[in-house]
A and B are shown apart, each in its own frame.
Chain A
Amino acid sequence: MSSDAKAVVPLGHVVIRFAGDSGDGMQLTGDRFTSETAGLGNDLSTLPDFPAEIRAPAGTLPGVSAFQLHFADHDIMTPGDRPDVLVAMNPAALKANLKDLRAGSTLIVNTDEFTKRNIEKVDYAANPLDDGSLDSYDVHQIGLTSMTVEALAGFDITKKDAGRAKNMFALGLLCWLYSRSTEGTIDFLKAKFAKKPEILAANIAAFEAGWSFGETTESFSVRYEVKPAPMRAGLYRNITGNPALAYGLIAASQQSGLPLFLGSYPITPASDILHELSKHKNFGVVTFQAEDEIAGIGAALGAAYGGALAVTATSGPGIALKSETIGLAVSLELPLIVVDVQRGGPSTGLPTKTEQADLLQAMFGRNGEAPVPIVAPRSPGDCFDAALEAARIAVTYRTPVLLLSDGYLANGSEPWAVPDATTLPVIEPAFATEPNHDGEFWPYLRDPETLARPWAVPGTAGLEHRIGGLEKADGTGNISYDPDNHEHMVRLRQAKVDAIARSIGPLEVDDPSGEARVLVLGWGSTYGPIGAACRAVRAEGGQVAHAHLRHLNPFPANTAEVLRAYDRVIIPEMNLGQLALLIRGRFLVDAIGYNQVRGMPFTSEELATTITDVIESL
């Protein structure tokens, strides 16, 4: 398809939000546009935002599903605060999203859905397309449904089915508008509808009709182009957090030679880890969908005892149920990876929205002194590295490890430099193979360096031994109720976790000028918004440093030193100040909290204002 007819205007970056009913296929549309954008070499970041209900009542506000994509000719860190373009497939989508638009932004609306009934459903007093309320936007009123039906008139499909292809029409139009290629989407449709040739042909026709409409309509006088972003040379793909985490676990299995076992119970937003791993049996992966969360981790612990790289994946409510077994794993000192893809809480909370409010649960949510190392990824692609790191700690130190992802990382995506599998770190299981104490085997005799105990798996002759959740004597592992021994063991378990700090790199600080007096300290998925906010502050002449924690327990050894080097420390979190509590308690630093619990990533705009205020207060 050629499009020489209209002028092409270059843009640095664009934020597009596709919004419609949860049955309108907005996630698919967004995914396809993302794929085409990734293929063009733009840097990008995405934010799917969908309701917990599978099909909320059509045309209502709770039923709105949206997908936001930020793409640029330069390195970007977030899916964008506000869309430059909103595609609203119905009045509900318009109403739910309009507040995020700046004046002058582009609005593409599907006029066919602006019926009296649909308008009343969302309590608009009048049709917003006619009453002048959208005058400050660049509105394109398009009958997406009717034009799609018209384009598919010759096909042997129902009018309803034809109308359902309107998302492909919209995608075609947007691909034209932003000069995306079409081949990838056509190949994708061919694969998806291979067994339904009529539906396939209709979808391709709708997609191409949308493209052609852009080219011919007077509604759009120009089209845009966003050039590829300069990135380090190499092979790239687009990746979403949950699959990246699953790949990290498979890589850890390969790098350790341990068979991967996942015991899991379906829960949003972690289920995709179970889905992904269940596809990779060719790596010897065994996935077990258990009867409940407790059985999921129980089976994983059993597999760990047998010598597997064992994992359980869940969200906050599941962690609550698994707590007792995590405590048992602390006592047994067996390697176990516990993935918590955090979502809004408490209780069932906001299943499809993101939050960081499980940090203290991960840190302290067990009876007794039961320290557990915590690792948190900072971006979708980083879920891969974080999973590998969690596996390294678990196996090396014979301990359960909490891997704290969140809903935004799980479903968000970004370009990812494909790692070279041959350069990944090797994880050494170092199973015990022979007696370690005067011809006897003592299951709790520790490695003096790591304080890890031997991992002696069943089937190893001569190493028969019993372990359990009762307190055990140092060394022999026999049951012991001795007061001094208990005190010793409690301190030993803590010391072992503390010793992990010796194996992790220092906390690095991003402070380009080296003159900042304010440090922003973050963890997890706030990396992007904090980074973008710091850039914005620096662009206005402010000096600010940013440090981001991958390890939350133990903290890197230089953490105190980093904190003390600044006059003020701001800790932005999607909770009411959980890291801030730990930092204050551990380091006596009067950290300033910046807290939001809206189920959505921060906007960097607001955070930048806060940082600037703190800088100016000095």
Chain B
Amino acid sequence: MAIHKSSTRSTVILLAIVIVLASAAPSILRAFADEPGAGTIQISTTGAGPREVEETTQKAIERQYTAAWKNMTAALKDNRADLLDAAFVGSMRDQLARRIEQQKKSGTSTRYADGAHQVNVVFYSPEGTALELRDTTEIEQQTLDGSKVIHSEKVRQQYLVIFTLVEDRWKVRIMQALPTS
């Protein structure tokens, strides 16, 4: 009799949990849908100037900026400067290559995990060969010595990024973290 009573109670509790979860599911799913996923880059061109950003340029920048983060993350994790050429050029490429060289010498590496990016185009040059973005993102950065994690931190960071058109591709020439106000 006691066993029967207990199993009935468990069934009722289980049913209650299922009902609560089922009723909450739409809101949970909506919340996830509204929240941009990790590494997603949304570019807004509102307020960009003096030239209006063409739709094809906006798509190209989204693609190249996504690639830049992906390549930078992989290059700093595995200490591979060869991964930089596809998305970086000039002083930014040199800067990352120098850091990788130093990491290699000291046996260290850096792991980045970037969250969603909120990107605004703040400048697009009149002749259409240079573009500046302001990106706000949350990044998790880990400093490793060999496989040992020395330091781990999560920060909200703002970057100024300058893209220039190199041959037929947009590449990052400057990517500078801004002091938090």
Q: Is the pairing of A and B real?
A: no
Chain B residues proximal to chain A, CB less than 8 Å: none
